[in-house]
């Protein structure tokens, strides 16, 4: 009798290692799919493959999805200036769309009967995976013992160790998900609202104390809202000119981390209704969003900025909450693309001891330069209106408040 095939979204971490062995013991042919969205560093891909083979996978697939993630997710997140609750760049959550799509693609290619992921039912990732799988391949069975059986990390560790497989104590204590957008860190300290993650929990960002005493200055360039170049200290480019689209973000993750930039703990409501708290490291996204927002201040009108803030936040929240396939998302992206027509120029940024300091910006579409050419210099003078006209404007501007105050004091 032919064994049934199951494709497992496999990171090599505790949950997916546990599932691989469990499925194999249940009689499945387990095919692992490792979707690289920026979480694999030098040699780690081979380590994940070796782990899959050690645990009994019959096939192992690696899919490099970094460029697609950058085009379809990161670019719009930067253009939207999206930070969940004003703080969190949806580090791994926004990547699940691409990861789940690629897992489905592998499942269809190998003729699998089912797909599996290691998400728990206590977070949002299980909804993200299921939303994609059900939309793209509704005939595939979704198998999720970690969610359904609510196995604890201690139980999974004991299960693997009882069968002779090694499990590191850090993996046992913390759930770490790393990707191009950033790294999320969950553990005992994040289950409550008071404690901060210890130094040992952070993966690659330096503490402020350990960051260099001298900062570094960056020049970041944009073309219609898309990051095109970055140089360091007025000289060398951060990446080669032929580097892939995601290379600048990847390099900024490293450089920002060296300067203590990008750490945080986010707390907010999830799509399933509970309050959640998670640590994150996202130097690159925080740097690029700060620079992009600064350039927009120079070239967009106040009404454009206000509307973008509202729609960009709504778009990012829907993406974070797995509303991937509603047509409204195409409408949001069309708006964001249109809004970036004049977002071309460069921004000077300094990284120093955990701080992102915006030093200056320039653009051929600068509203400030246009005002100066017209003779308007804020706080200095203007040739566009007379002192009498300025006095009249102030008088008229004050009228609504004057009337409202008088109405409140009828006596």
| Banded pLDDT at 258 (limits 50, 70, 90) | very high
The residue with tokens 């050690």 is 54
Which of 125-134, 187-196, 233-242, 329-338 has the lowest average pLDDT?
Answer: 233-242
State the chain's maximal CA–CA distance in angstroms. 94
- Residue 260 near residue 384 (C-beta atoms within 8 A): no
Q: How far is CA 335 from CA 76, 78, 309, 377, in A?
A: 10, 14, 12, 32
Strands of 183-186's sheet, edge to edge? 175-178, 183-186, 275-281, 263-269
| Banded pLDDT at 274 (limits 50, 70, 90) | confident
Instruction: Look up the pTM and report it.
Output: 0.94
DSSP line for 95-106? GHHHHHHHHHHH
Q: What is the pLDDT of residue 351?
A: 98
The string of pLDDT tens digits covering residues 13-39 is: 999 999 999 999 999 999 999 999 997
Q: What is the pLDDT of residue 32?
A: 98
Would you state the structure tokens that stand for residue 264, as one six-digit string?
């945080």
The string of pLDDT tens digits covering residues 203-253 is: 999 999 999 999 999 999 999 999 999 999 988 899 998 999 999 999 999
Q: Which of 169, 118, 122, 125 is nearest to 144 (CA)?
A: 118
Burial 170-181 (b: 16+ CB within 10 A, else e): ebbbbbbbbbbb
CATH no. of 188-362: 3.90.1260.10
Q: Which of 249, 220, 248, 169 is nearest to 343 (CA)?
A: 220
Superfamily of domain 5-70+91-173: HUPs (3.40.50.620)
Q: What is the pLDDT of residue 399?
A: 96
Whether 172 has a pLDDT exceeding 90, the answer reads: no
Q: How many CB atoms lie within 10 A of CB 193?
A: 9
Parts of the chain belonging to CATH 3.90.1260.10: 188-362
Parts of the chain belonging to CATH 3.40.50.620: 5-70+91-173
């Amino acid at each position: 009798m032919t064994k049934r095939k199951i494709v497992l979204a496999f990171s090599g971490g505790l949950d997916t290692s546990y599932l691989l062995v469990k499925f194999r013991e249940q009689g499945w042919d387990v095919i692992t799919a490792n979707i690289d969205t920026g979480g694999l560093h030098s040699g780690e891909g081979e380590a994940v493959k070796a782990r899959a083979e050690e645990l009994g996978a019959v096939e192992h697939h690696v899919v490099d999805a970094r460029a697609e993630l950058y085009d379809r997710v990161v670019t719009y997140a930067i253009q939207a200036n999206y930070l969940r609750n004003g703080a969190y760049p949806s580090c791994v959550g926004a990547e699940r769309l691409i990861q789940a799509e690629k897992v489905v693609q592998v499942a269809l290619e190998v003729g699998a009967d089912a797909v599996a992921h290691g998400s728990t039912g206590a977070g949002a990732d299980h909804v993200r995976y299921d939303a994609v799988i059900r939309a793209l391949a509704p005939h595939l069975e979704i198998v999720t013992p970690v969610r359904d059986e609510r196995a604890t990390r201690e139980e999974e560790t004991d299960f693997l160790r009882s069968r002779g497989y090694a499990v590191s104590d850090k993996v046992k204590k913390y759930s770490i998900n790393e990707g191009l957008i950033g790294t999320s860190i969950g553990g005992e300290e994040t289950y409550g609202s008071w404690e901060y993650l210890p130094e040992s929990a952070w993966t690659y960002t330096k503490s402020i104390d350990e960051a260099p005493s001298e900062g570094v200055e960056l020049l970041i360039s944009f073309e219609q809202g898309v990051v095109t170049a970055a140089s360091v200290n007025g000289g060398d480019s951060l990446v080669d000119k032929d580097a892939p689209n995601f290379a600048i973000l990847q390099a900024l993750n490293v450089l920002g981390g060296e300067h203590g930039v990008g750490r945080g703990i986010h707390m907010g409501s999830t799509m399933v209704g509970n309050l959640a708290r998670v640590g994150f490291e996202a130097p690159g996204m925080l740097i690029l969003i700060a620079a992009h927002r600064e350039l927009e201040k120079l070239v967009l009108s106040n009404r454009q900025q206000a509307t973008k803030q509202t729609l960009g936040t709504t778009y990012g929240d829907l993406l974070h909450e797995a509303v991937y396939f509603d047509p409204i998302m195409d409408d949001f992206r069309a708006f964001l693309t249109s809004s970036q027509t004049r977002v071309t120029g460069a921004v000077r940024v300094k990284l120093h001891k955990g701080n992102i300091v915006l030093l200056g910006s320039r653009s051929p579409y600068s509203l400030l330069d246009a005002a100066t050419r017209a003779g308007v210099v804020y706080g200095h003078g203007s040739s566009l209106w007379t002192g009498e006209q300025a006095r009249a404007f102030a008088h008229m501007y004050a009228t609504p408040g004057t009337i409202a105050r008088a109405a409140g004091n009828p006596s």
